[in-house]
Amino acid sequence: MAGFAEADNTEAIITRIEHKSRKIESLLKQYKPVEALKTALEGSPPLTKDERCKSANWIVVHRAIMAIKDVDSLFSALDPEYYDVLMKCTYIEVYRPEIDPLVISA
């Protein structure tokens, strides 16, 4: 499918996510949670079908989200361009069948 990363790009995507994770941790230590979330959302969700990449990316986004203490101020400080990306990341992870508690396997 066009637009998705090739298998040999998987490691490059994982490397970018790891780099992003380190940058986010640094921003969180500096008490900059909105900047951390913006960084987490950049390039998200990754254009790949590889579940490792999707999971690794969600972990980074989730880490930044969980550091937010005041959601109201987050949305006033967050640029509207990030709203769609945030919703996509959340939707992708929340509705994955393997973690959906409403899906009952036989």
Question: What tens digit of pLDDT does each residue of 71-105 get?
Answer: 888 888 888 888 888 888 877 767 666 654 444 44
Nearest of 85, 83, 41 to residue 60 by alpha carbon: 41
Nearest of 41, 12, 7 to residue 24 by alpha carbon: 41
Task: Over range 44-72, report the average pLDDT.
Answer: 87
For the entire predicted model, the pTM comes to: 0.75
CA distance 48 to 54: 8
Q: How much is the pLDDT for 105?
A: 41
* Superfamily holding 13-94: Actin-related protein 2/3 complex subunit 5 (1.25.40.190)
Question: What tens digit of pLDDT does each residue of 4-53 get?
Answer: 555 558 899 999 999 999 999 999 999 999 999 999 999 887 888 888 88
Within a 10 A sphere around the Cβ of 48, how many other Cβ atoms?
Answer: 19
Q: What are phi and psi of 35, to 5 degrees?
A: -65, -35
Largest CA distance in the chain: 48
